[in-house]
A and B are shown apart, each in its own frame.
Chain A
Amino acid sequence: MAITIILPKYFSATSAGNAVRVCKKILDAEEDITLDASNLVYADPLGITLLGAALHDAFSWNLRVRISGLGEDVGGYLQRMDVFHGVDFVKCEPVKKRRRNRGDSLVELTRVDEVSDVDETAHRLAVAIVGRFPGIDPDEPPDEMSGYTVFDRLVEPIQYSLCELLENALTHARRGSHGSAFVWVAGQYYRSSKIVRLGVTDNGCGFLASLKGHPELRRKRHLDAILTALKPRVSCNRDLGIHDDSVNQGVGLTTVMRIAKHTGGRAVILSGNALHDTDGRSGSTPAGSIWQGVAVALEFRRDQLARTNFRELLPLVEGIPRIPLRFE
């Protein structure tokens, strides 16, 4: 026996609630799954990471997953993004587009298991994305004053954002009974709109569990937990612990959201049954659709990436005396 799950027309940040609803069906499945992709026309990196995480869960229960009705264009794209690894194709023949060489193809769905892999993954992914920008030469001579190339300046905010999100996901998400949580990441540069989109999804404890007991979280609801996590200087472990292990400043996620906004882009955050969009669309996901973990979609406008100015992005430190520092 198999259950059939119909994929929506759009599997993306703009219809994240629908994507989560379908993923919840995959996660709840107790028998083999047939994904009906007849309606599917578009998926973005957030949708790809959500689907990748949900399929990983199904495979971990030894369920067989088939997909039917996949159109040639979206099928070829999703296959190149490595979304359907282990999935059987039925009544669909995705075109096997020629794979690019590995160094240029790491926008594909990638699962990150260990914090020690984060720096390397973030760098490779950022370089792969910027490497697709037309007219940018990674080998041009660096600026004499700064020592950096334009390529370096474009890579930095993407790599910065990925580092913060991936390390957060692999530390905060693994609290409680979620020690084996993973994180999935995918990205793409859209040439026509000159926009970079990233998706980072984990299947960990989610913001509500992570911030449980935090005095800033006044209502124990997923949306309140997302909004609380976005407040500067709010973290579940801002002070040194009993064992003096690592601490958090509660600024990383906030800064990443501000980088996206600063470039003229936006961010969408999903956790539990709540969704927050920096464009102002916040609220609950459709009834019954819950994401166990955190999923983040980021959008950057290419033209603004190299102008990232951290003095404008970091939270204000009003009322705090300036600390004399020894710069040379």
Chain B
Amino acid sequence: MRTQLPLTSYAKGHLAGTRAAAAPLRLRAEEILSSGGDVVLNFRGVEATQSFIDELIGYLILSQGPSVLERIVFRHCSENLRAIIEYVAADRCDQYLKRPTHH
């Protein structure tokens, strides 16, 4: 089952900015993931900072591993946002895989 989470209510104007604003959204995503569902992050009309995206998905990668990305869909992302998401995912997956304890 896929649950869609619109980002508009986490943004001021068109930008979702702080880690503090991302944390409640991440908690909601964690609830959905832990119940076996997939998460659809709907970014229509929203841009985000690298910090917001890192708090949202970087944290999930570090805590659950890169496979969590198989259950997250990124919808309606602009080119800038897509670049930020790709950067955060690559960097945090690399960090996770280089941890001595992840095995």
- A314 contacts B69, CB within 8 Å? no
**Least Cβ distance of B21 to chain A in Å?**
5
> Which residues of chain A in 293-323 are interfacial with respect to chain B, using CB atoms and an 8 Å cutoff?
308-311, 314-315, 317, 320-323
Given A159-B13, A249-B50, A327-B74, A322 contacting B90 (CB threshold 8 A): yes
CA distance A159 to B51 in the complex (A): 13
CA distance A71 to B77 in the complex (A): 51
When the two chains form their complex, are residues B58 and A116 in contact, meaning their CB atoms are under 8 A apart? no
- Distance in angstroms between the alpha carbons of A238 and B91 in the assembled complex: 11
Q: A147-B45, A320-B93 are in contact. Are A159 and B83 (CB under 8 A)?
A: no
Q: Give Cα A170 to B49, complex, Å.
A: 17
Residue count of chain B within 8 Å CB distance of chain A: 51
List of B residues within 8 angstroms of A238 by Cβ:
95
Q: Closest CB of chain A to B10's CB: distance in Å?
A: 9
CA distance A183 to B18 in the complex (A): 15
Asked if B31 lies at the interface with its beta carbon under 8 angstroms from chain A, I say no
Q: Is A2 an interface residue (CB 8 A)?
A: no
The answer to whether A108 has its CB under 8 Å from any CB of chain B is no
Contact with A along B73-96 (1 / 0, CB 8 A): 111111111111111111111110
Are B18 and A328 neighbours in the complex by a CB distance under 8 Å?
no
State the CA gap A120–B82 with chains docked (Å): 24
Interchain CA distance A272-B24 in the complex, whole Å: 35
Contacts of A323 in B (CB 8 A): 66, 69, 86, 89-90, 93
Q: Does A44 contact B (CB under 8 A)?
A: no
In the complex where A123-B12, A240-B62 touch, is A317 in contact with B54 (Cβ < 8 A)?
no
- A 165-197 binary contact with B (CB < 8 Å = 1; else 0): 001000100000000000000000000000000
Set A119, A164, A314, A326: member contacting B12, Cβ < 8 A: A119
